[in-house]
Structure 1
Amino acid sequence: MVEVQLDCGAPQRHLVGVRLTVAPRLDRLRLRLPAWTPGSYLIRDYVRHLEGLQAHQGGRALPLVRLTPACWELACDPTAGPIDLRYGVMATELSVRTCHMDAQHAFLALAAVVLEVEGERWSPHRLQLSLPSGWQAFVPLPVDGQGGWTARSFDQLIDTPVEAGPHQQIQFAVGGIPHRWVTWGGCAGGAEWLWARFPSLISDVQQVCLRCCQLMGEERPASNTYLFVLHLLDEGYGGLEHDDSTVLVYGRQRFEQPQGYRRFLQLVAHEYLHQWNVRRLRPQELCPIDYHQPAVVPSLWFAEGITSYVDQLLPLAAGLSSADDLLQDLGDDLSRYRLTPGRLVQSLRTSSQEAWVKLYKADAYSADSQVSYYLKGAVVALCLDLQLRRDGASLPLVLQQLWSSHGRWGRGYSEADLIQAFAHHSPALATQLPAWLDGVDDPDLDGYLCDVGLRLEAEMASTPWAGLSLQMKDGSLVAQRVWRDGPAEQAGVMVGDEVLALAGQRLRQPAQLAEALQADAPQRLLICRRSQVLSLRLQAQPPGVERYRLVAQASINAQQREAQRRWLTLDNGRDGTPTATALATP
């Protein structure tokens, strides 16, 4: 067993003291720190936060030879007793996938903290924590009866998020399985504000969790125990899934928006559903996970896109939002998708394969050359669901069968397995789905929406289009985005240019650009780049589509109404019963 001791006793230093104790099996030992954490497909080089690594055995210092930036080797004596490894990890980066520690709390993503000892990946690891007085730790691992916790392997250990502080936890059950909820209030008002504002939050979360189980055809969760950790900040949005837990970050400002609480429940649904889809129903490229280099996973569209699609339907099916809410939320996503130029450049499969180098490294030009596998994956999931329903099946039915054939047994799936599973219920998908994955042409979204009595309605902009958006930066008005092949790019504008004037009118605020634009003749645009003032010729285009709204058709027939009902209730296509209200028609 590898012993892991973490010292968080001086949180104001933001430095976690780490001690690993291991009995060597051979005369040479290698140590490696993971470079990324599953669920967040980006090499993060956690080693940049590690300092002061030392190794001792029997009171004698052991020289460490660095083989790579995150890998060391040492010579040792297997008969001389355990090796003692000590080092520090700076915890100053606040996110769901990094470490952060201050006087209020400690959050540790253990992939960024614990060295993997060669040959001990599948050995038990015992975890112990040293905390300030009055703090307690919230850890989704079995307790060891000695004040610590035991992981069955290194994989389970670093899949374990650790939250610690003077927090309170709330206990509830889903399908008879114990759940815990812990909130760190890292904003004004803290957790007290949350419970006063949303007293039904836990019962609502419970209903969403139950609906996730039902979606997968189960009476209880996949986990035997589950921990929710919420970081309530002023601003922020996101989450990271684990086998037996999830860590959420959500901003108070988001909660205070009209749709904020509904979007929060969608985030809960998304991360909770991941205990099935992606954690246990896992791509074969992540079986097992290589923590030290990227793995090309062409099916991330399924892992994230399917989950992103159903997370909007789950609160509705649980009775916690309305059909009109769904129109707004789904419509916002469909609008964002149709207005993303990169969807005509990057295919969905390529988006999945390039996650490591594009999605998490987006810049001001990314929207013109790439599309998120979350966003387009959700659009394809909608089309898959409605195509399956044409043939008497559904996306929930396919999910349930994939869970039975692959997820329940930890059998990694290939993309071919997914295509076969869909085509089994709808033969047309044997050719349609690969085309949707490999090509850049849109699926017949309008046709599928018509099946359930919906349509996308375009809203036109009121001003000409320059293919340029501006922002205030350090007191200057600068180009924030320049659309590919748009008027501004054709004129020669680059992201970062300071925009001074248009048609002789000084521009001081972003809104003034639209007010000054004309589409009937070229206009002189004055910019400053690298201290040089340049005069450009800008020919704006007539107003185009500003956004799309998802609306009910003026009238729908009985077949559309029934298809709509079954879709909204996440009926699996076989024997479902309605749990949500059908959309009203005008």
Structure 2
Amino acid sequence: MKKLQLTALVLLTLFFMDPKSGNAAGLAKISYKVSFPEAQAHYVDVEMTVSNLAQPSLEVKMPVWAPGSYLVREFAKNIESLTASANGKAVSAPKINKNTWKLNTTGLSSVTIKYKVYAFELSVRTSFIDVSHAFLSTTGIFLFPKGMLAQPSTITIKPYKDWNKVSTSLEMVKGDVFSRTAPNFDILYDSPLEIGTQDVFDFDVANTHYEVAMYGGGNYDKERLKKDMAKIIEAEAAVFGENPNKHYTFIVHNKQRNGGGLEHLSSTVLGASRDGYTNERVYHGFLGLVAHEHFHLWNVKRLRPIALGPFDYDNENYTTNLWIAEGFTAYYQNLILRYADLADTQTFLSDMVSDINTVENQPGTKVQPLAESSFDAWIKSYRPNENSYNTGISYYDKGAVIGMLLDLEIINNSNGKYSLNDVMKYMYDTYYKGKKRGYTDAEFKAGFEKFAGKNLNDFYAQYINGLAAIKYDKYLGYAGYKLVDELASTNNADLGVAVNTRNIITTVFRDGAGWVDGLNVGDQITNIDDTPVTDLSAIKGKKVDDKIVVTVSRDGQAFKIPVTLKRNDNVKYTITELPNATPQQLAVRKKWLKL
């Protein structure tokens, strides 16, 4: 067992390590001490020591982003009171750019840097500290020495008051729960820490030990979660033929309302609603989140776009393949629940048609190609504005739909011999395990073609790099299904805007009535045809092409805007069975849904 663990550790180190990053560092040793003397004010004190130095200067840097969350978040903004010292004397440590401090280390073999970090944003990607617990998202807590990303480090934790647990994927040092070690900074930055009095339970799946750390309480059933999470894990490992971890940690933050997750190499952080576990719809959503983030331990953390590792922590890391990394994972979160018998066929189809409806009802799907959506995640997906709905599409939603289409294409063209699972395993074995690097766009396309048995140039031109309308019935037809639009025969008049509870416009939909006639986001609708209104219910009695006058309050002034109502073109699809499905179609359906 120890030999297997060591082999895996070496493989991961080689996979993520920048071969140039360790040259300048030699045998430098890096350690951290963290403490919480002002937990009530949301601060962590960090003491960083770099020893065995033999260089005239040392630059220490804070990452600007957290891998898996594609936005420059400028974590250095939360650092205060940075000082440096050696041999009892102060060392000059001026800040030379937004996230870098430069120390004069001439003649010094060791230097200690002390700083405070303010942490008061409880999300899966940012740190949070109060008297109840500390969640340390490590990219926003620990500085790294420039040129030393390949170096190991140790963390010693001085807990606040009655905190008695640490939940993380980082290994303990000599069995001490408050002392942890990382073989390099890519591993450190991929291993968040939950410190406090969290409720912890564990279970084993095959040769992998799982720990679940629950913060915030909740009405969860531990035994049910163990059983259902184990089913998900087994179904996902079956896709790739192995579970590469010996242990894995789920950190779950239970709040009144919460959601989202962030994947890591050997752990994940999930947001959940503390009282939602007994609501079957909410619980289904939570299991989908578990399936999504856990699937990432293969897809993106190991099988990854070539741009996503070794990481550049100072800048954006661009890729056109988040539709595979995230979109396919969104597809598999639904498929895995079906595989694990945690969702029946109808539930799976409902989940998939929900993604289809999201894509088809978003005007931006006709504006932004899928590959561009991935590439522009840094400036668009994580920085939405009032017009984003009209200009972009999510690589999660459309990527999930594309995953479904390719799955059906492969199953059908191979006469049921192969599926998307075979592509994922082949790419994992070839690039992560074999070549020990990420894949290019062309290489993944070749993987699809290998198992589909056909050239996919047209598919890519239309659906990945282009804006062609998706031929859903062609692909669903392979499995004996078709789409039915429940709204196809309706002719409802629509103002083409969305409003909040104060009747203030939050979105103006591209090419809708409000778009054409000049309603603006921020306008408060006060009257329709001189009748005071508090919502849009007055539109229900109108017909398409009716002309109305909308009175709005805009910047404190009243404006009367003539508007010609248009048809509401939204779709509401369901997936239904074709009558008299052929044996070939039923065979595809059986393979697809594991019936």
1:543 to partner: Cα distance:
4.2
User: Counterparts of 1:14-25 in structure 2 under 5 Å?
Assistant: 14-23=42-51, 24-25=53-54
1:377 to partner: Cα distance:
0.9
1:4 corresponding residue in structure 2: 32
1:432 corresponding residue in structure 2: 458
Aligned equivalents of 1:545, 1:505: Cα separation in 2: 27
Does the CA contact (< 8 Å) of 2:496 and 2:568 recur in 1? no
Letter paired with 1:313:
L
1:575 corresponding residue in structure 2: none
Among 218, 224, 232, which residue is 1:208 paired with?
232
Aligned equivalents of 1:403, 1:60: Cα separation in 2: 51
2:475 corresponding residue in structure 1: 448
* Cα distance, 1:374–1:539 mapped onto 2, change above 3 Å: same
Letter paired with 2:585:
Q
2:346 pairs with 1:324 = yes
Aligned equivalents of 2:392, 2:207: Cα separation in 1: 43
Instruction: Identify the range of structure 1 (261-270 vs 349-358) with the bigger mean alpha-carbon deviation.
Output: 261-270
2:541 pairs with 1:500 = no
2:81 pairs with 1:52 = yes
1:149 corresponding residue in structure 2: 180
1:171 to partner: Cα distance:
1.4
Does the CA contact (< 8 Å) of 2:364 and 2:392 recur in 1? yes
Does the CA contact (< 8 Å) of 2:168 and 2:267 recur in 1? no
1:199 to partner: Cα distance:
4.3
What count of residue pairs does the alignment treat as equivalent? 556
User: Counterparts of 1:279-358 in structure 2 under 5 Å?
Assistant: 279-358=301-380
Instruction: Identify the range of structure 1 (430-439 vs 317-326) with the bigger mean alpha-carbon deviation.
Output: 430-439
The superposition leaves residues 115-148 of structure 1 with CA deviations (integer Å, 9 ceiling, x where unpaired) of 1112321111001111123321112111111541
SS in 2 for 1:134: coil
Does the CA contact (< 8 Å) of 2:57 and 2:105 recur in 1? yes
Among 574, 577, 581, which residue is 1:556 paired with?
581
1:238 to partner: Cα distance:
0.5
Letter paired with 2:525:
V
Among 166, 189, 198, which residue is 1:137 paired with?
166
Among 80, 85, 90, which residue is 1:61 paired with?
90
2:67 corresponding residue in structure 1: 38
Does the CA contact (< 8 Å) of 1:2 and 1:120 recur in 2? no
2:486 corresponding residue in structure 1: 459
* Cα distance, 1:255–1:328 mapped onto 2, change above 3 Å: farther
Among 468, 491, 502, which residue is 2:517 paired with?
491
Does the CA contact (< 8 Å) of 1:458 and 1:545 recur in 2? no
Aligned equivalents of 2:539, 2:301: Cα separation in 1: 47
2:539 pairs with 1:514 = yes
Is there any run of 5+ residues in structure 2 with no aligned partner, and where? 1-28
The superposition leaves residues 145-181 of structure 1 with CA deviations (integer Å, 9 ceiling, x where unpaired) of 1541110011111111100111231111122211111
Aligned equivalents of 1:374, 1:128: Cα separation in 2: 38
1:63 to partner: Cα distance:
1.4
1:513 to partner: Cα distance:
4.2
1:524 to partner: Cα distance:
0.7
SS in 1 for 2:566: coil
2:16 corresponding residue in structure 1: none
Does the CA contact (< 8 Å) of 2:220 and 2:278 recur in 1? no
Aligned equivalents of 1:74, 1:432: Cα separation in 2: 55
1:541 corresponding residue in structure 2: 566
1:555 to partner: Cα distance:
3.8
Letter paired with 2:194:
E
2:273 corresponding residue in structure 1: 251
Does the CA contact (< 8 Å) of 2:151 and 2:183 recur in 1? yes
1:182 corresponding residue in structure 2: 213
2:298 pairs with 1:271 = no
1:574 corresponding residue in structure 2: none
Aligned equivalents of 1:370, 1:513: Cα separation in 2: 31
Does the CA contact (< 8 Å) of 2:258 and 2:271 recur in 1? yes
2:403 corresponding residue in structure 1: 381
1:391 corresponding residue in structure 2: 413
1:364 to partner: Cα distance:
2.0
1:518 to partner: Cα distance:
3.2
* Cα distance, 1:521–1:444 mapped onto 2, change above 3 Å: closer
Is there any run of 5+ residues in structure 1 with no aligned partner, and where? 570-579, 581-586
* Cα distance, 1:462–1:264 mapped onto 2, change above 3 Å: farther
SS in 2 for 1:523: strand
Does the CA contact (< 8 Å) of 2:92 and 2:104 recur in 1? yes
Instruction: Identify the range of structure 1 (393-402 vs 255-264) with the bigger mean alpha-carbon deviation.
Output: 255-264
1:217 to partner: Cα distance:
2.4
1:254 to partner: Cα distance:
5.1
Aligned equivalents of 2:274, 2:493: Cα separation in 1: 36
Aligned-residue CA RMSD in angstroms?
Answer: 1.6
Letter paired with 1:339:
N
Does the CA contact (< 8 Å) of 1:137 and 1:164 recur in 2? yes
Aligned equivalents of 2:383, 2:207: Cα separation in 1: 41
2:56 corresponding residue in structure 1: 27
Instruction: Identify the range of structure 1 (517-526 vs 63-72) with the bigger mean alpha-carbon deviation.
Output: 517-526
1:228 corresponding residue in structure 2: 250
Instruction: Identify the range of structure 1 (428-437 vs 360-369) with the bigger mean alpha-carbon deviation.
Output: 428-437
Letter paired with 1:318:
A
Aligned equivalents of 2:327, 2:469: Cα separation in 1: 15
Aligned equivalents of 2:532, 2:411: Cα separation in 1: 56
Aligned equivalents of 1:424, 1:554: Cα separation in 2: 32
Letter paired with 1:298:
T
Among 457, 474, 479, which residue is 2:505 paired with?
479
Aligned equivalents of 1:496, 1:85: Cα separation in 2: 48
2:396 pairs with 1:371 = no
Letter paired with 1:210:
E
1:489 to partner: Cα distance:
1.3
SS in 1 for 2:201: strand
The superposition leaves residues 37-74 of structure 1 with CA deviations (integer Å, 9 ceiling, x where unpaired) of 11000000011111110000111111122211111111
Aligned equivalents of 2:47, 2:567: Cα separation in 1: 65
Among 424, 431, 440, which residue is 1:414 paired with?
440
User: Counterparts of 1:102-141 in structure 2 under 5 Å?
Assistant: 102-135=130-163, 136-141=165-170
Does the CA contact (< 8 Å) of 1:280 and 1:407 recur in 2? yes
Aligned equivalents of 1:199, 1:502: Cα separation in 2: 56
Aligned equivalents of 2:568, 2:398: Cα separation in 1: 26
Letter paired with 2:84:
A
1:427 to partner: Cα distance:
4.2
Does the CA contact (< 8 Å) of 1:465 and 1:542 recur in 2? yes
After the TM superposition, which segments of 4 or more aligned residues of structure 1 sit over 6 Å from their partners?
none
* Cα distance, 1:504–1:557 mapped onto 2, change above 3 Å: same
The superposition leaves residues 368-402 of structure 1 with CA deviations (integer Å, 9 ceiling, x where unpaired) of 11001111111111111111112212100010101
Does the CA contact (< 8 Å) of 1:241 and 1:247 recur in 2? yes
Does the CA contact (< 8 Å) of 2:360 and 2:571 recur in 1? no
1:550 to partner: Cα distance:
2.1
1:546 to partner: Cα distance:
4.3
1:520 to partner: Cα distance:
4.0
